[in-house]
Structure 1
Amino acid sequence: MTAYDCIVIGCGHAGSCAALAAVESGCRKVLIVEKSPKEWAGGNGYFTAGAHRTVHNGLHDLLPIVNNVTVEQATLIDMEPYTTENYIADIMRLGNSQSDPILVKSMVDHSRDAVEWLARHVGIPFILAFHRQAYEVGGRQKFWGGLALSVEDGGKGLIAAHLRALEKAGVEVWFDSPAVELVMEDFAVRGVIVKKNGQKVQLSATAVILAAGGYESSRQLREKYLGPGWDRARVRGTPYNTGDGIAMAQAIGAKLTGDWEGCHSTCWDANAPADTGDRVMSNQFTKSGYPLGIMVNVKGDRFVDEGQDFRNYTYAKFGRAILQQPEGCAFQIFSGKIVELLRKEEYADEIVEKIGASSLEELADKLVEKGLEEKENLLRTIREYNAAVRSHRAEYPGLLWDPSVRDGLSTQSSHSSLTLPKSNWALPLEDTPFVAVKVACGITFTFGGLAIDPNTAGVLSEESGKPIKGLFCTGEMVGGLFYSNYPGGSGLTAGAVFGRKAGCEAASLVRDRS
């Protein structure tokens, strides 16, 4: 029987972090087993924009780990510090105070060290996310929403850097090799049974780290846990996250926890594939410009407050809102002056089907061809919205439109208020050309998962509530961290934080046994 110090199940961002941390901490023989073929390496991390949310002390704190800011550019950037208190408050606020506070604090407290480690030891090419998290206002780049870091070439660049680091560290990687069972001996995990080349192979290990993702790619499990209709959601990332790791852990008595009815789901191109992400288009199917316009369903009704908060505090929940609409789709509508502000990587002509028109009447006619059922109601919705916006502007003439802050430009005034407000960034739809895009629900990852020790990432036993010896967990398999919604950029950070913890603890077990 082949023996390893540590076996990691899953080769995405979190699993790679765990394997690299294990080697760095003293493990000599580390193996990653991965269900997907090599051409699908990277799990969901490959399909991200590479955003990492972290505690920081402002621009000067992040400049040493990014590679896209000159000395001159730095003088034209405004970036507020993002404190531990800010980060914890954001997770708890968006999760309706249901997230495990100790788990959250552990992740947040180690977030800055994790990104430093990724930059210095793994070689992740961090950049400031001008293209996603800053607007030019008054000649200055103003960062907003607490998030500043991304990765050069997004998730593709992230995973490419990990693969280089794994090779350099001597980590063995088996693709097309799904783990099918955890091996227990004397109340401890001692290895894994893997299906390789059609045959089951038993491998022994001092430590096993689960990093196999959630169940978002399984239509059956989505319907079982998230509810009816979730079979219609489009899978944003890897098609290989079908809950296998969770099932293996549950089979040996691991404790389940977290929001099993919750997930990260966002506005996604309605023309995107249904059951898998696209390795070329990747995150470009995201359609996150809705705070700059309005969203309507096929009946012509608005159904969310598009300006409720910054995009990275609402985008992970608005996919669910779209799925709940008739036909499970919606239209984003923008007016002329705003179209140029939409991110090119998401809204360029060659990326998305744009529906353009020189009048609202013409736009409504064209949307009927794309599934709009109530043309007159749509026109009435826009008229009422425009009137409410103008009324607010007349009452508050001193307010200026500013997408880098919650500017207070809304639809609510003493003379005219909509039942469903737009709370910020409300501009009338009046400038031509008008543009619409059709969107659906894209599911990213699920929130229910395994209970872990916040300090060690050890998987807890359902029976004893204590860690199962030899078993650790990181990434999207961790439960209890996010509920119903989450602040953008937190998923990759959590994978790095708990991946490092798991790798370090695995090495500690190896030392104890030697």
Structure 2
Amino acid sequence: MSTISTDVLIIGAGNAAMCAAHAARGEGRSVLVLEAAPEAQAGGNSYFTAGATRITHEGLGSLKDLVDADERHDRSEVPPYTAADYARDLDKVTGGRNDAQMTRTLVSNIAEDMRWLKAKGMQYRLLYERQAYQRPDGSYLFWGGLHVGNTDGGEGLMRDHFSIAESSGVEVLYRARATELLSEKGAVTGAVFEQDGSRHVVRAFSTVVASGGFEASRDMRAEYLGPHWRHAITRGTPYNTGTVLQAALRLGAAKGGDWSSCHATQWDAGFDDNESNFEVTNRLTRQSYPLGIIVNREGRRFLDEGADFRNLTYAKYGKEVLQQPGAVAWQIFDARLRPMLRSEEYEVPGVGEHISSSLGELADQAGIERSGLLDTVATFNKSIDTRADFDPNSKDGRAARTDPVKSNWANPISEPPYYAYPVTCGITFTFGGLKGDDKARVLRSDGTAIPGLFACGEALGGLFSENYPGGSGLAAGIVFGRIAGRCAAS
């Protein structure tokens, strides 16, 4: 068993981990990153994202120093998104179960921290294809508070991170799975890792746990989320198995946040290779559902597709699908709605898709109960309040007064051909992690810090519960990753 020494050890190599690495290296410390995946699959869940990052700003003018130039900027309206807006959205979607201090830290630091990354070489752009619909006059109105993302999505995000790390002298070991945390006299002094069948030791002054949650472990999902979560699809990295979380708990670390809930979205149920697909990444998510309706095997609707902007509902609707018969549902659209669906998601080669000139035949093709679907669509169409005009860029109040209600964006499903997209539950990350303080130090149950141990990213619990605002996961990784790296370096 060989032994390696470093000042700061980072376990994991996703967005939060690399932010911690950049921050620690910026303080002049030697930094070693352990990545369980091979190099071609490195980057944790961050690689599987669209790179969307929720940031406070004062409108487009305040973002031009951050985002790539685009000729559409002159025709774009980007409403300001304040710290108060950010905190209010976090509080709303979590039912007030978000940690207040973590929320304040996130919303007050994210704008500065993204510019810190920009100065290091990270690239950002406005998310036209995800967060704005083009209006009839050719202009764009951004909505939902999520306006900025990494150039080239999650792949670009991690490409930039690794490039910054290489140029600054951060060392990354791939296929290096941490299995144990080392402890002496109550302080963490490094970790044991396995690589190519051999065991090795890393001795470090500080160790940062940034190895994600436990969403890729079916056993831990069943234990903490419930037995039915064994049937969810792991949409991101298969390497987030909770091993280091368990190692920290064995050393007396306290649990932080909600260990009984997670981020889970609607995921293509008809694509042949729909689990941890490193080629297609996030493009198997199905997020144009606010435009249409969602039905189960019986042809019945079971949620409010238009409750809010999809940024604020998509991470909880995967759970709703998981609870349906067979853990499957179908998104239904007609010919008028189909052109508005996201092309990068609904036109992937091999996408699960059924098309028919009649709703009855569509039901038969898809495996939906025919009478149930016909009755649901007829009832839905008749219940639409047409006094409000359809406007996908705002919560338009165009509701379908049926059960369950559709609060916004209700349009009749009436013009053939008709489309059905099968979806299941794709789990992204778990919300429970380790409990930390304002320096990202890992705490014991009595509130004292474990010397030498820090946490960030999905391994740090407390910010989310049941749901989260889209783009706040990467944002939290940036803010708390930077804090963890700086404090570990000191």
TM-score bin, normalised by smaller chain: over 0.9
Q: CA deviation at 1:468?
A: 1.3
The amino acid that maps onto 1:15 is: A
C-alpha separation between the residues in 2 aligned to 1:250 and 1:159? 29
The correspondence for 1:405, drawn from 394, 399, 417, is: 394
- Classify the secondary structure of the residue corresponding to 2:424: strand
More displaced 10-residue stretch of structure 1: 78-87 or 347-356: 347-356
Residues 160-193 of structure 1: per-residue CA shift (max 9 Å, x gap): 1111111111111111111121111232211212
C-alpha separation between the residues in 2 aligned to 1:197 and 1:361? 55
The amino acid that maps onto 2:19 is: C
The amino acid that maps onto 1:60 is: G
| Cα distance, 1:275–1:203 mapped onto 2, change above 3 Å | farther
**Is 1:323 equivalent to 2:322 in the alignment?**
yes
C-alpha separation between the residues in 1 aligned to 2:248 and 2:274? 25
Q: CA deviation at 1:436?
A: 1.0
Q: CA deviation at 1:264?
A: 0.2
Contact 2:270 2:353 in 1 (8 A): no
| Cα distance, 1:2–1:377 mapped onto 2, change above 3 Å | closer
Alignment of 1:155-304 (within 5 A): 155-272=154-271, 276-304=275-303
C-alpha separation between the residues in 1 aligned to 2:280 and 2:360? 32
**Is 1:378 equivalent to 2:373 in the alignment?**
yes
> TM (normalized to structure 1)?
0.93
Q: CA deviation at 1:200?
A: 2.2
| Cα distance, 1:431–1:186 mapped onto 2, change above 3 Å | same
**Is 1:434 equivalent to 2:418 in the alignment?**
yes
C-alpha separation between the residues in 2 aligned to 1:309 and 1:273? 31
Identity %: 44
- Alignment correspondent of 1:40: 41
- Classify the secondary structure of the residue corresponding to 1:365: helix
Alignment of 1:45-60 (within 5 A): 45-60=46-61
- Alignment correspondent of 1:461: 444
| Cα distance, 1:351–1:161 mapped onto 2, change above 3 Å | farther
| Cα distance, 1:257–1:380 mapped onto 2, change above 3 Å | same
**Is 1:484 equivalent to 2:483 in the alignment?**
no
C-alpha separation between the residues in 2 aligned to 1:274 and 1:432? 30
Q: CA deviation at 1:272?
A: 4.2
Q: CA deviation at 1:132?
A: 0.2
| Cα distance, 1:49–1:22 mapped onto 2, change above 3 Å | same
Contact 1:125 1:151 in 2 (8 A): yes
Residues 118-143 of structure 1: per-residue CA shift (max 9 Å, x gap): 2112x221110000001112321010
C-alpha separation between the residues in 2 aligned to 1:59 and 1:35? 39
Contact 1:126 1:151 in 2 (8 A): yes
C-alpha separation between the residues in 1 aligned to 2:273 and 2:169? 37
The amino acid that maps onto 2:441 is: G
- Alignment correspondent of 2:478: 496
Contact 1:233 1:274 in 2 (8 A): no
- Classify the secondary structure of the residue corresponding to 1:336: coil
- Classify the secondary structure of the residue corresponding to 1:401: coil
Contact 2:396 2:409 in 1 (8 A): yes
- Alignment correspondent of 1:25: 27
Contact 2:179 2:247 in 1 (8 A): yes
C-alpha separation between the residues in 1 aligned to 2:309 and 2:423? 19
Q: CA deviation at 1:432?
A: 1.9
C-alpha separation between the residues in 1 aligned to 2:346 and 2:115? 32
| Cα distance, 1:498–1:352 mapped onto 2, change above 3 Å | same
C-alpha separation between the residues in 1 aligned to 2:229 and 2:273? 12
| Cα distance, 1:470–1:349 mapped onto 2, change above 3 Å | closer
C-alpha separation between the residues in 2 aligned to 1:149 and 1:351? 29
Q: CA deviation at 1:351?
A: 4.8
Q: CA deviation at 1:337?
A: 1.2
C-alpha separation between the residues in 2 aligned to 1:26 and 1:145? 39
More displaced 10-residue stretch of structure 1: 191-200 or 302-311: 191-200
- Alignment correspondent of 2:10: 8
> TM (normalized to structure 2)?
0.97
Q: CA deviation at 1:79?
A: 1.2
- Alignment correspondent of 1:356: 355
Contact 1:290 1:332 in 2 (8 A): yes
C-alpha separation between the residues in 1 aligned to 2:167 and 2:68? 22
Contact 1:265 1:318 in 2 (8 A): yes
Q: CA deviation at 1:321?
A: 0.2
- Classify the secondary structure of the residue corresponding to 2:64: helix
The amino acid that maps onto 2:422 is: K
| Cα distance, 1:275–1:467 mapped onto 2, change above 3 Å | farther
Q: CA deviation at 1:75?
A: 2.3
The amino acid that maps onto 1:424 is: N
Contact 1:345 1:351 in 2 (8 A): no
C-alpha separation between the residues in 2 aligned to 1:185 and 1:23? 25
- Classify the secondary structure of the residue corresponding to 2:56: coil
C-alpha separation between the residues in 2 aligned to 1:445 and 1:427? 33
| Cα distance, 1:349–1:474 mapped onto 2, change above 3 Å | closer
The amino acid that maps onto 1:21 is: A
The amino acid that maps onto 2:23 is: A
- Alignment correspondent of 1:512: none
Contact 1:18 1:499 in 2 (8 A): yes
C-alpha separation between the residues in 2 aligned to 1:339 and 1:216? 32
Contact 1:114 1:493 in 2 (8 A): no
More displaced 10-residue stretch of structure 1: 253-262 or 316-325: 253-262
Q: CA deviation at 1:419?
A: 2.1
Contact 1:63 1:69 in 2 (8 A): no
- Alignment correspondent of 1:450: 434
Q: CA deviation at 1:274?
A: 7.4
The correspondence for 2:125, drawn from 114, 124, 127, is: 127
